[in-house]
Chains A and B, each alone.
Chain A
Amino acid sequence: MAAIEVAGLERAFGEVLAVQGIDLEVPEGEIYGFLGPNGAGKTTTVRMLTTLLLPTGGRAAVAGHDVVAEARQVRASIGVALQEAALDPLMTGRELIRLQATLQGLPTAAGRKRADELLERVGLTYAADRRVGGYSGGMKRRLDLAAALVHEPRVLFLDEPTTGLDPVSRKTIWEEVQALNDDGTTVFLTTQYLEEADQLADNVGIIDSGRIVAEGTPEALKGEVGRPHVELLVGEDAVEEAERAAAELGKVLPRKDGRRVLLEVENGAADIPRVVRALDEAGVTVESLELVRPTLDDVFVAKTGYHLEEEDKGSGEEMTPA
């Protein structure tokens, strides 16, 4: 059984169709990365899947339950950590987890025990009795994640869980998400970070303007947009000779700038010795050599015409024309 099944899901806000009939299926035990820029429809989709927003068209089922007709069963099966960790700054971490345990129907003693376990798991035992308002961004995210796990959900929804975090906190969250998935939890993860989707997701869906424009494993998606290529920096007077030699080995791509020769290679790193030998035999001195693989950004550009460009990790990312 699929953990998440979505068919023709739509959500309109007045005249604006924020989600335009998306279809997707997430098998149990998978990490699904939902990638897209701000305003693409990621959060609206998550809010519908977590029963926080009624769809205006189509249908969706989570953990085998319809999100409209069986909303309460859905809510009992899922854990949710929404964008902008929704934490009360006046509560302590321990109070929050205990309240979450009560909301999920755990008996008092079990809820207290579970709160202690989870605070330990996310490394917040030392701050458990401090008010959340004094936590750092990373601590808040870890607390939010702990709260979402209180009832050991089958499906975990994480809406941009690392937006605005420093690299160390981001890595901690990634490790925790991976560990949860290793334990069998299905994870639906929305993100603006290409690296996050690439690192964590078994399958990626790219959403743009409310439509899924590409879906597949990160490797398959990258394979669709091109092969790896070698980027060679040579002296200005050796560029043409380098291109002639490279042409014997594969397809030479248009130069990136005056001195950078780009050669598409079929076997990635395995082809590099052959390239170096050929240039050496042609008498070309190579100043630097880099193997460049297609990225999810290349996929994104190919599918949407835009870059997901990181301008400021602290405040999210902006969409810029390719």
Chain B
Amino acid sequence: MSDLAATARVVRALGARSIRQTFRRPQLISPIIVFPTLLLAIQTGGAGAGVELPGFPPVQSFLQFMLAGSMMQSMMLAGNSGGIAFAVDIEMGFTDRLFAAPIPRFAIVLGRLAGTAALGLFAAIWFLAIGLIFGAEIKGGVPGALLATALITASALAVGGIGAAIALRSGSASVVQGLFPLVLVVLFLSSAFFPENLMIEPARTIAEYNPLSFIVEGVREPIISGIDAGHTLEAVAAITGIVVLGLVLSAGALRHRLRTG
């Protein structure tokens, strides 16, 4: 077996463990699925008339508009949960077991990210299914649904990289857990739950430059109106930027951890 194939096998095994770990620990799966689903139900039930506001983008329903935001929220919390789980591994010494194995050490981070990406995929499918069950139309059809799913999966990997970097650097689950409110703040300061053009300042300007807004619009567009190359490219660029940032931070944090033990 080549080195690359062997590493891919390790990444797959660690990713599978990461997914099992999430589903076996309610405090990890709950923020990814239960919390965003409840918020989606509350918002669509309570603020559905928002679609009547002047300037609100043309949508079939508020649920259709909200699906991208819920997927983003779930994806962001999957990244945060992945970071918490990684920090728990560090705290209990499980990562020492991995570091003592004859594998490239970055495979350990990639394994964790593979698991987080898979949870992103699961979240995207979950919310698309909920949308379809409750009557939301996916304007972009199957290709649109696939595009939204792919963008959310890639975003989970990107955000997971930042979670992993913080876990590696701090080695503390409580530090990573402490980022939970920050995740929500960053998310609410994007166009995830409300159209950017209807926000007031300074939230509007922040949302305009928030990379998450680019990703949200890239995911939302295929749902509410169909695939749009411009939005898709902006989303891909934002995801790429976060991926690079996450990988660079993770690599630095990994080196620091290995140097200091």
Binding site for B on A (CB under 8 A): 44, 47, 50-54, 72-73, 75-76, 78, 80, 82, 84, 86-88, 90-91, 95, 99-100, 102-105, 107, 131, 147
Mask: chain B, 1-16; 1 = CB below 8 Å from A; 0 = not: 1000010011001100
Shortest Cβ distance from A159 into chain B, in angstroms?
10
Contact at A104–B102, with CB atoms within 8 Å? yes
- Cβ distance A78 to chain B, nearest Cβ, rounded Å: 7
A103 touching B101 by the CB < 8 A rule? yes
Could you tell me the distance in whole angstroms from the C-beta of A194 to the nearest C-beta in chain B?
26
Q: How far is the CB of B128 from chain A (nearest CB, A)?
A: 29
Is the beta-carbon distance between B258 and A91 smaller than 8 angstroms?
no
Cross-chain contact B96 with A90 (CB below 8 angstroms): no
Minimum CB distance partner of A105 in chain B: B6
B97 touches A147 (CB 8 A): yes
B102 near A90 with CB under 8 A, answer: no
Residues in chain A near residue B55, CB distance under 8 A? none
A99 to B94, CA, bound (A): 12
Residues in A with CB closer than 8 Å to B258 are 54
What residues of chain A lie closer than 8 Å to B17, measured between beta carbons? Answer: 88, 91, 95, 99
* A44 CA to B24 CA, complexed, in Å: 33
Known pairs A86-B94, A91-B20, A105-B1; A76 contacts B102 (CB<8 A): yes
From B21, B96, B261, give the contact of A88 (CB < 8 A).
B21
- Chain B residues positioned under 8 Å from A105 (CB to CB): 1, 6, 102
Which among B25, B92, B261 is the interface contact of A47 at CB below 8 angstroms?
B261
Contact between chains at A103 and B103 (CB < 8 Å): yes
Report which B residues bind A (CB closer than 8 A).
1, 6, 9-10, 13-14, 17, 20-21, 24-25, 89, 92-94, 96-103, 258-259, 261
**Bound-complex Cα distance A82 to B93 (A):** 9
Given contacts A50-B100, A51-B100, A80-B100, contact A99 B13 (CB under 8 A): yes
10 shortest interchain CB distances as A-B pairs: A86-B93, A53-B261, A103-B101, A76-B102, A75-B102, A102-B13, A90-B24, A80-B100, A86-B97, A86-B94
- Chain A nearest CB: distance from B113 CB in Å? 17
Chain B residues contacting A73 (CB-CB under 8 Å) are 102
Query: Given that A90-B24, A91-B17, A91-B20 are contacting pairs, would A103 and B94 also be in contact in the complex, using a CB cutoff of 8 Å?
Result: no
When C-beta atoms are compared, the residue in chain B nearest to A150 turns out to be: B101
**A80 CA to B99 CA, complexed, in Å:** 11
- What chain A residues lie within 8 Å of B102 (beta carbons)? 72-73, 75-76, 103-105
Q: List 6 A-B contacts (CB under 8 A).
A: A75-B101, A75-B102, A76-B102, A80-B97, A95-B20, A102-B10
Q: Are B259 and A52 interface neighbours, CB within 8 A?
A: no
List residues of chain A with CB within 8 A of the CB of B10.
102-103
| Chain B: CB-nearest residue to A147 | B97
Provide the residues of chain A in CB contact with B13, threshold 8 Å.
Answer: 99, 102-103
Nearest A residue to B17, CB-CB: A99
Q: How distant is the Cα of A86 from the Cα of B21 in the complex, in angstroms? A: 15
A76 to B104, CA, bound (A): 12
Query: Other CB < 8 Å A-B pairs besides A80-B96, A82-B93, A103-B103, 5 of them?
Result: A47-B261, A88-B21, A88-B92, A103-B98, A105-B6
Separation of A53 and B100 alpha carbons in the complex (Å):
10
Contacts of A52 in B (CB 8 A): 96, 99-100, 261
> A131 — which chain B residues lie within 8 A by C-beta?
24
Are A100 and B97 closer than 8 Å at their CB atoms? yes
| Cβ B96 vs Cβ A82 within 8 A | yes
Are the CB atoms of B24 and A102 closer together than 8 Å? no
* Partner among B25, B93, B100 whose Cβ is within 8 Å of the Cβ of A90: B25
Question: Whose C-beta in chain B lies nearest to the C-beta of A144?
Answer: B97
Shortest C-beta distance, B11 to chain A (Å), equals 10
B100 close to A75 (CB less than 8 A): yes
Cβ of B185 to closest chain A Cβ, rounded Å? 30
Evaluate contact between A90 and B97: CB separation under 8 angstroms. Answer: no
| Smallest CB separation, A257 vs chain B (Å) | 46
| Contact between chains at A87 and B94 (CB < 8 Å) | yes
B14 CB, min distance to chain A CBs, angstroms: 8
Interchain CB contact under 8 A, B6 and A88: no
Closest-by-CB residue of B relative to A157 is B100
Instruction: Flag if B9 contacts A102 (CB, 8 Å).
Output: yes
Q: Residues of A contacting B261 with CB < 8 Å?
A: 44, 47, 52-54
